[in-house]
Amino acid sequence: MATMRAMQFPEPNAPLQLVERSLPEPGRREALVTVQACGVCHSDTVTGRGLVPGLQYPRIPGHEVIGTIAALGADTDGWSVGDRVGVGWFPGACGHCPHCRRSQAYACDNVHGATGVTRDGGYASHMLADISALAHIPASLDSIEAAPLMCAGVTTFNAIRNSGAKAGDLVAIHGVGGLGHLGIQFAAKLGFRTVAVNRGRDKEALARQLGAHDYIDSTAGDPAQALQALGGAKAIIATVTNADAMQAIVGGLAAGGTMMLIGATGPISISPLELLSKNAGVRGWYSGVAADSEDTLVFSELHQISSMNEVFTFEEAQAAYDRMVSGDARFRVVLKMD
Ligand SMILES: NC(=O)c1ccc[n+]([C@@H]2O[C@H](COP(=O)([O-])OP(=O)(O)OC[C@H]3O[C@@H](n4cnc5c(N)ncnc54)[C@H](OP(=O)(O)O)[C@@H]3O)[C@@H](O)[C@H]2O)c1
Ligand SMILES: [Zn+2]
């Protein structure tokens, strides 16, 4: 019997467990992917900590996957065994399938499922993916370097390009972690005056190297006032994992500006007066679909945007996950498969 190896969470708040499972057969519209690399995203804590009610365990996390197609099920025209593909977090609520159109559910698990959350992901030698979740990978992109583009990349690229900001506008990237360090590169290359905002000054030099034109230490004073001193932000791309930090920066929006909420934090409270006086807005942003991932990959190839990665072996998945949670990684942790 053919087998695969995986690192799974047996239950919430338990360590990852190395297991051998029988190799699954791809069903209709599914591909079996041999995983080459998988990024470790802060959102893997959704599975690790059981942050969404009703999750099923054991569950293999990982939604920044690059690999090659090992086998295809029925109705998979357009894809071939051997194709190099990426699989992202989506489609949580893809918005396209009948289930999503009806329920606007967090995850349309009857059809696609959120990779690594409601269906098994890429901390594994192999994984099954719905073909609607597959993105083609440009030949010049290295699999390990490209893996974080499948979530951290597409989420920030997509949020920035849908924020309403226009070339030359001031865009603040709030948080300089896995998502934020890619967001800085995208914003700068998309033609925005790019301001990085983070706690302390540890990451300032790297943020500037990545393309930030300005840097705000959010602990040195009021970050909203600091943004206003620069003219106010047409977009704030909020990738921090802390609600208080997010709330503290809303006042930095310019007239007509939009705050794009990406970090999955607890509640924040915002005064309607604060927003209406400026025609400003706050909007949640959820990753993207395969076409968005392909746009992200092509843009990254064109502009030499890449993730700065700390690479761990598959067997070191627990250490890799812990390193991500510590916040000390510069900037993305990636698992390299054997
Ligand atoms: N919406 C989506 O589709 C989507 C997709 C992917 C990820 N996410 C979410 O986006 C967030 C970021 O993910 P990531 O992988 O980039 O995480 P990460 O690499 O751990 O980065 C976290 C960032 O938050 C900052 N931060 C943490 N605690 C803070 C605090 N108490 N005050 C101020 N700043 C704080 C960190 O600053 P320091 O450098 O000072 O530690 C760092 O800049 C997570 O919540 C993740 O679940 C959402
Ligand atoms: Zn992610």
- Rg of the Cα trace of the chain? 20
Q: In this predicted model, what pLDDT tens digit does every residue of 245-278 receive, in sequence order?
A: 999 999 999 999 999 999 999 999 999 999 999 9
CB 13 within 8 A of CB 314: no
| Domain range list for the chain | 3-151+288-336, 154-284
Q: Does domain 3-151+288-336 have CATH number 3.30.1330.30?
A: no
Structure token pair of residue 331: 């900037």
What pTM was estimated for this model as a whole?
0.95
CB neighbour class for 243 (10 Å; exposed up to 12, middle 13-18, buried from 19): middle
Tell me which residues have their CB closer than 6 angstroms to ligand 1: 41-43, 151-152, 155, 175-180, 198-199, 203, 239-242, 245, 262-264, 285-287, 327
Task: Output the tens digit of pLDDT for each of the chain's 338 residues.
Answer: 899 999 999 999 999 999 999 999 999 889 999 999 999 999 999 999 999 888 999 999 999 999 999 999 999 999 999 999 999 986 544 555 555 555 444 444 444 568 899 899 999 999 999 888 899 999 999 999 999 999 999 999 999 999 999 999 999 999 999 999 999 999 999 999 999 999 999 999 999 999 999 999 999 999 999 999 999 999 999 999 999 999 999 999 999 999 999 999 999 999 999 999 999 999 999 888 888 999 999 999 999 999 999 999 999 999 999 999 999 999 999 999 98
**Which CATH architecture does the domain made up of 154-284 adopt?**
3-Layer(aba) Sandwich (3.40)
Question: In this structure, are residues 63 and 114 in contact, taking their beta carbons and an 8 Å threshold?
Answer: yes
Residue 300's pLDDT is: 98
What separation in Å is there between the alpha carbon of 152 and the centre of ligand 2? 6
**C-alpha triplet 244, 49, 64: angle, nearest 5°:** 90
**CA distances, 60 to each of 5, 80, 142, 262 (Å):** 10, 25, 24, 23
d(CA 261, CA 228): 19
Distance from the alpha carbon of residue 137 to the mean position of ligand 2, in angstroms: 18
